[in-house]
Structure 1
């Protein structure tokens, strides 16, 4: 912070003083070149030039001073904990519900070819410490984000709801990145394998069904089932903390 203040004192203020000296000298040159008869015109031109130049110069310098301060404030927030996830998760569940009607009988029949049971988050997190549990949630949300980046051409959902879901997923992921010690690392091998196995099956199911509307409805039902488990998981993490 002290470095940024030093920069502002050392750069912004001298820039202003320098500009005033420069414009003063330019004004004198104009006076000598054109004579006193145009003094009033030159004064107006100098004032216009002054305001224009200062607006550009000081605006750029101001950004250089303020942007690091704002960025430092954002980064200082750090991990705001699972409490923040509860609100985002509730919004995501509402969006998933509003995307369409419950799973139809015809689409439910196709779920049998998914070849994997709904992900059981509570079982994955048995005997896990709070940081490990957060990492599981983080990995699951990342995988769902990848799923919803696949071919959505055949879905019947409102496009604004799809975009809202994507944004909420990204928001949850960004928040959790602040809470896990190393976002790029994997969870414990057994848990990681279970997560990857489930989403590999889900991805293959979508591809095998050629990303049909029913396949995506099954995927939405699976997503809702996982998201409905998250409040219980987050409550356990809060209790552990």
Structure 2
């Protein structure tokens, strides 16, 4: 659990607020897109999660990545990989059949904005930090996580409950990140004023 919180802390710092120590400044619209993504995932709910309790599953969010051990480029690469995987997951033909197409199009737009910002930042950081090969292990863990999600959807024949379980899983990561970000902002404010 502590490793999961470390990873989420790293993701929060990168996705929900200005981070001057990164060596690249993400534009304000990146943070707005992140908030919009979370709101859209909430709005997409079609079923009560209580109807799908029997379908719940632990997808084993990548815990081997500790946020305090990540280099800047690694953390951005992980966030980029997560957003890209989410984009691809919700950009499939099966997703189009399962979700409200208007909300889905808005979700695609918000994720695309965030991905563009992160790509720009990642290119800047790649010149500042060591080899990109060091980033592969954490991003491979993210890819395996999303493979488990895709396998689950396939096993469940892309049922409405399966999609709801996946939506809740993805939303949980965004919600946890937002809560942790607020704590980090307060902590950073206290450190900056001392």
- TM-score normalised by length of structure 1: 0.55
**Counterpart position of 1:213:** 160
By relative contact order (CA 8 Å, sep 6+), the higher-ranking structure is 2
The verdict on how the C-alpha distance between 1:179 and 1:125 changes in structure 2, with shifts beyond 3 A counting, is same
Assess if the C-alpha contact under 8 Å between 1:93 and 1:228 holds in 2.
Answer: yes
Moved more, 220-229 or 163-172: 220-229
Q: Which runs of 5+ in 1 are unaligned?
A: 1-78
The verdict on how the C-alpha distance between 1:120 and 1:154 changes in structure 2, with shifts beyond 3 A counting, is farther
Does residue 163 in structure 1 map to residue 163 in structure 2? Answer: no
Task: Identify which of 19, 33, 50 aligns with 1:105.
Answer: 50
RMSD: 2.9
Assess if the C-alpha contact under 8 Å between 2:82 and 2:142 holds in 1.
Answer: yes
1:152-199 per-position Cα deviation (integer Å, ceiling 9, x unaligned): 2542x43211111111111110111100025xx666243123111100
Q: 2 CA distance for matches of 1:165 and 1:124? A: 28
The verdict on how the C-alpha distance between 1:211 and 1:186 changes in structure 2, with shifts beyond 3 A counting, is farther
Q: How many pairs were matched up?
A: 154
* Structure 1 moving runs of 4+ over 3 Å: 118-121, 229-237
CA shift, 1:101, in A, is: 5.4
**Counterpart position of 2:140:** 193
Assess if the C-alpha contact under 8 Å between 1:136 and 1:187 holds in 2.
Answer: no
Q: Rg larger in 1 or in 2?
A: 1
Q: Which runs of 5+ in 2 are unaligned?
A: 1-23, 127-131, 189-194
**Counterpart position of 2:14:** none
